[in-house]
Amino acid sequence: MSPTPSTIQEYDRAAPSPEQTETATFALGCFWGPDARFGALEGVVRTRVGYAGGTKADPTYHDLGEHSEAFQVDYDPEQRSFKSLLDLAFRSHDHTRQPSSIQYQNIVFASTAEQADAIASYLDARGLTREGIATRVEQLSRFHPAEDYHQKHSLRGRQSLLNTVEQAGYDDADIRESPAAAKLNGYAAGNDLPEGHDLGTSANRTVH
Catalytic residue numbers, as ranges: 30
Say if residues 178 and 170 touch (Cβ distance below 8 Å).
Answer: yes
Residue type, 50: G
* Among 179, 128, 131, 120, residue whose Cα is nearest residue 155: 179
Provide DSSP, 59-101: -BTTB-TT-EEEEEEEE-TTT--HHHHHHHHHHTS-TT---SS
* Residue (of 19, 84, 59) closest to 145 by Cα position: 59
Nearest one of 107, 113, 96 to 138, comparing CA atoms: 107
Q: Are 71 and 49 in contact (CB under 8 A)?
A: yes
| Main-chain dihedrals φ then ψ at residue 126, nearest 5 degrees | -110, 10
- Find the radius of gyration of the CA atoms of the chain: 17
- Decide: 35 and 152 in contact? Cβ < 8 Å: yes
